[in-house]
Homo-oligomer: A and B are copies of this chain.
Amino acid sequence: MSTSNRTDSLPAPSTYQIDDEIFETIIDSEGCKIERIISKGHHSPDNFWYDQEKNEWVMVLKGSAGLRLENDKEIIKMMPGDYINIPAHCKHRVEWTDPDIETIWLAIHY
């Protein structure tokens, strides 16, 4: 997928199913961790909320997803290019991701 041996690239969309979400750490530095997550129809378990020590800035690169923040009635629909900043300890969960194609997230924990 890379256009050069000096770069890396996103995986191409595919039709296969993936059992578990794929978490890949791209950069892991003291103040900054860059992570790529691939989901396909996955969502957070019922009644589960992420509650994280660090801030998280997250963008959907491909696919689509529904994100819920605690105390928000509405599910936030995220499409490619949409991003949101989730402050530390702002509880959140993924309500849904596209069942037909991979949803690729870029997450920056800082």
Residues of chain A having any CB pair with chain B under 8 Å = 1-4, 6-10, 26-27, 29-32, 34, 55, 57, 59, 61, 69, 72, 74, 76-79, 81-85, 106, 108, 110
Min C-beta distance of A34 to chain B, whole Å: 6
Q: Tell me the bound Cα distance from A106 to B78 in angstroms.
A: 18
- A29 contacts which chain B residues (CB < 8 A)? 31, 55, 110
Contact call B32/A110, Cβ cutoff below 8 A: yes
Q: Is the CB–CB distance between B82 and A3 below 8 Å?
A: yes
Is the Cβ of A26 less than 8 Å from the Cβ of B57? Answer: yes
Contact indicator B81/A9 (Cβ below 8 Å)? yes
Q: A31-B31, A61-B81 are in contact. Are A72 and B6 (CB under 8 A)?
A: yes
